[in-house]
Amino acid sequence: MPEKQTPKSLGYRWPAEWEPHEATWLSWPHNRDSWPGKFTPVPEVFARFARTIAAFEPVHILASGAALEQAEQFVGGTANILLHEKGTNDCWIRDHGPWFLQHAHEPAALVDWGYNAWGNKYPPFDLDNAVPEYVALELGMRRFSPGLVMEGGSIENNGQGTLLVTSQCLLNPNRNPDLSRSEISRMLSEYTGADRVLWLFAAEDGSIPGDDTDAHIDQLARFVTGDTLVAVANDPAEQGRARLPLLDTLQTQLKSLSDAQGQPFTVIPLPLPNPVFYEDQQLPASYANFYIGNGFLIYPTFRCARDASTGKLLKDLFPGREIIGLDAVDLVWGLGAFHCASMQQGLAHPRPVSA
C-alpha cells in the first residue's frame, strides 16, 4: 500500500542524476503511433542506447509480448541487461517511471507519481501509470504515492535542495487543475526532500519548436553541478537564424535565481542543433536532453556541425566522464530523446561524488 508519511519527514532525499547509480531503467519502444511512418529504425537506436549504458552500469528493460521478443532479439544475452515482462504504452520512462529515493541508513524507496500522458494527449496510458508500482514490487521497495500528476522530464534537481520547473507545465490545468503553485511546491518538497522549488516562465510559452510536453525543463536547462546549469541559448554569431525570444527569457530568468543556500547559479549557454524536420513538422531537437550515468554522459546528436562542439562543451563540464554522442534523428520523431527514454536508479545510501 502507498505510504501516508512523506519521504522528507522520514529523512529520504532524491539524489541528483550525476550521483552514483544502481542501474538505469528503460521501457522498450513498440508504439508505432509514436513514430508514424518511421518506426523501423527506432528499435536499433534504442538497442544502441541500452548497450552503451550497459557498458557502465546495469540496465533494466520493461517489455511484453512482441516487444519483449524484439528486445530479446536486439539485446538479449547482453551483459548487464535484464529484461522484465511488464507491458507499457510507450517508451518515455522518464515521465512514467518511479523516482528513486535514498536514505542515510534505511532501505531505498521510490515515489509513484500519477501519470496521464502529458495532460491526456495520448491515451491509453494505464500501463505506463502502473510502472512505478511494478518496480516497487519487483525490487521490494517502499512506495510513496502523492496523488499528484508529475513527469520526470518536468523537474531538474541539483541534489542540494533545489528543484527547477516551468510554470507552463506544472500549472497547466491538464495536469493538476485544483492545485496552486504553492501547493505543488510543497508536495514536491515533501516527496523529494528538496527545500526550494524555482519556477520559470510564469507568463511566457517556454516550449521549444516541436515540444508537446508543455515546456519540460529537460529540453531547456539542466544542472551539471549543484551551482551550475547549462541552458539552451540563441547564438549571437548566427545572424541568419531566427532568434527564439523564449531562450533570451530563459537565460535572464536563470541568472536571476538563487539556490537553497541563497547563492546565484552559473549559467552556461548550450546551443540548439540545426532544426530537424520530418514531413514538414519541426521536431523538438535539443542537446539538453542528455543522460548522465556512472562514468558516462550520452547526448543526442542531430547530424549537424554543432554535434562535435556540443560534445566538447560537455566534456569540459564533465571531465571525469566519457562523453558519447548517439544519433537521435530517428528517435526524436517520437518527440523525445535519450533523457526522455531513461530513468536512473540512484544508490540506496548517499555517497559523496562530484559531477
Pull the grid cell for residue 215: 515546456
pLDDT band at 351; cut points 50, 70, 90? confident
Strand ordering across the sheet containing 322-327? 291-293, 296-301, 322-327
CA distances (Å), 88 to each of 67, 104, 286, in order?
A: 10, 33, 25
Fold of 7-346: L-arginine/glycine Amidinotransferase; Chain A (3.75.10)
> What integer pLDDT is reported at residue 204 of this predicted model?
78
Sheet holding 343-346, edge to edge: 81-85, 59-63, 21-27, 343-346
- Note the pLDDT tens digit of each residue in 141-170: 999 999 999 999 999 999 999 999 999 999
Long-range pairs for 208-212: beta carbons < 8 A, 24 or more residues apart:
208/232, 208/244, 208/246, 208/272, 208/284, 208/286, 209/244, 209/275, 209/282, 209/284, 210/281, 210/282, 210/283, 210/284, 210/285, 210/335, 211/284, 211/335, 212/118, 212/121, 212/284, 212/335
pLDDT value for 232: 98
User: Looking at the whole model, is its pTM more than 0.85?
Assistant: yes
CA separation for the pair 218, 284 (Å, rounded) = 11
CA atoms within 13 A on the CB side of 283: 22
Per-residue pLDDT tens over the stretch 6-53: 999 999 999 999 999 999 999 999 999 999 999 999 999 999 999 999
The DSSP line for 139-180 is HT-EEE--S-B--GGG-EE-SSSEEEEEHHHHT-TTT-TT--
Q: What is the pLDDT of residue 236?
A: 78
Share the mean pLDDT of the chain: 96
What pLDDT is attached to residue 1? 46
Tens digit of each residue's pLDDT (9 = 90 or more) over 199-257:
999 877 889 999 999 999 999 999 999 999 999 999 877 756 778 999 999 999 999 99
Domain boundaries, the chain: 7-346
Cell numbers linked to 234: 540563441
Q: How far apart are CA 35 and CA 162, in angstroms?
A: 35
310 membership: H or E segment, kind and range: helix 306-317
Q: Find out whether 167 and 199 touch, Cβ atoms under 8 Å.
A: yes
Bridge partners (DSSP) of residue 346 are 21
Give me the active site residues, please.
Answer: 340
SS3 338: coil
Q: 3-class SS at 100?
A: strand
Q: Is the pLDDT of residue 352 over 70?
A: no
CB 158 within 8 A of CB 223: yes
Give the whole-number percent of the chain exceeding pLDDT 90: 92
Distance CA 175, CA 150 (A): 8
User: Phi and psi dihedrals of 152, rounded to 5?
Assistant: -60, -35
Name which of 109, 52, 102, 108 is nearest 80 in CA terms.
Answer: 52
Q: Which residue has the cell 541528483?
A: 16
Lowest mean pLDDT of 192-196, 233-237, 337-341, name the range: 233-237
